[in-house]
Amino acid sequence: MQTNNSRRKFIATVGAVAGGQIFLSPFIGKSTSNIFTNEPITVAQIIDRFIKDVPGGVLKQTVDTLKSGSLDMQVKGIVTSMFATVDVIRKTIAAGANFIIAHEPTFYNHEDAVEWLKNDPVYQYKANLLKENNITVWRCHDYIHRLIPDAVTMGVLTELDWKQYADKKIPNLITLPPIYLKELIKHLKIRMGIEAVRYIGDINQTCSRILMYPGAAGKNAHISGIEHFKPDVLICGEMSEWETAEYIRDARSKGDNICLIVLGHIASEEAGAVFLIEWLKEKFPSIKAQFIPSGNSLSFA
């Protein structure tokens, strides 16, 4: 659970409701009609409106598809989250909502291919839970990252209070006043509500130039980013130990000062789900929308 005070404060400032407080304001009794036309709002209308904001518009190839439910479903309430976990689905049902906008896959692979899972009891349980309760899940990943600037990155910069240090054209590139690696780690943990991070480097080393890739950008982005931008620190959501981490280890052995901080995927991108709440409140004020944290899947021992 991410119950850190600073994180709560951050979430409160953008109007979302965190953690255990969500049940204090269920969707019950809320009108779901459009305030201007009195027409019910469908899933399709919300998705179309979001895509209207995205430069380039509709993508031919995208993972941002419906994972359950239908486009013509009337929306009673919306939940945004990093993952539509079974727990998030249960909380959505309890809150009287029926539309989940999730950043990441529902069924354990990037494309949400389910053929290979059709006899799997975990898949079946989740798919049935969604079906029986008429919950529509839409993944909003490719579109939210294509907003200019990327709404996930901007959300993280706000969360970390780093907007003023970010490069105007490449907001993933941040130049901080010089800071010890240990202080940088402390800042990230406090602001993002993270219990522990993994890192490579000397904690007493001074850092300034940061390259930040929330999520799982992959070895090509990580390694070519380091090569191109020559940061003191790469901060990522997750990486493959045998790729990015080994590259950084070798770079340090060669004499470079590059450090690595691994935040965890969920913590690194959750600000995007919070952004969506703000967007929904502005564009569809008649529909109740809440951010429900999916929490970290992994514990530290």
Least separation, in Å, of the C-beta of 136 and Zn ion? 20
Closest of 209, 213, 219 to residue 181, by C-alpha: 209
| Residue 20 neighbours by CB under 8 Å, 6+ apart | none
Q: Which token pair is 289?
A: 């929308």
Size of the site for Zn ion (CB under 5 A): 2
Pick the closer one to Zn ion by CB: 159 or 269. 269
Which region among 89-97, 177-185, 264-272, 276-284 touches Zn ion (by CB under 5 A)? 264-272
121 CB-side CA count, 13 A: 0
* Structural contact between residues 173 and 165, judged by C-beta atoms closer than 8 angstroms: no
Q: Is 231 in the site for Zn ion (CB under 5 A)?
A: no
Least separation, in Å, of the C-beta of 269 and Zn ion? 5
Range 45-52, long-range pairs (CB < 8 A, 24+ positions):
46/75, 46/78, 46/99, 46/280, 46/284, 47/71, 47/138, 49/283, 49/284, 50/140, 50/143, 50/279, 51/143
Q: Is 237 in the site for Zn ion (CB under 5 A)?
A: no
Which region among 89-97, 124-132, 175-183, 263-271 touches Zn ion (by CB under 5 A)? 263-271
Pick the closer one to Zn ion by CB: 147 or 258. 147
Q: Is 295 in the site for Zn ion (CB under 5 A)?
A: no
Q: Is 215 in the site for Zn ion (CB under 5 A)?
A: yes
Query: What residue number has its CB nearest to Zn ion?
Result: 215
Which region among 201-209, 220-228, 269-277, 283-291 touches Zn ion (by CB under 5 A)? 269-277
The one-letter code for the residue type at 224 is: S
Distance CA 291, CA 157 (A): 18
Which region among 83-91, 107-115, 208-216, 290-298 touches Zn ion (by CB under 5 A)? 208-216
Helix locations, the chain, DSSP H: 5-13, 43-52, 86-94, 121-132, 142-146, 151-160, 181-192, 219-229, 246-254, 265-283
Least separation, in Å, of the C-beta of 266 and Zn ion? 10
Contact letters for Zn ion, residues 50-79 (x by CB under 5 A): ------------------------------
Pick the closer one to Zn ion by CB: 112 or 269. 269
Binding site for Zn ion (CB under 5 A): 215, 269
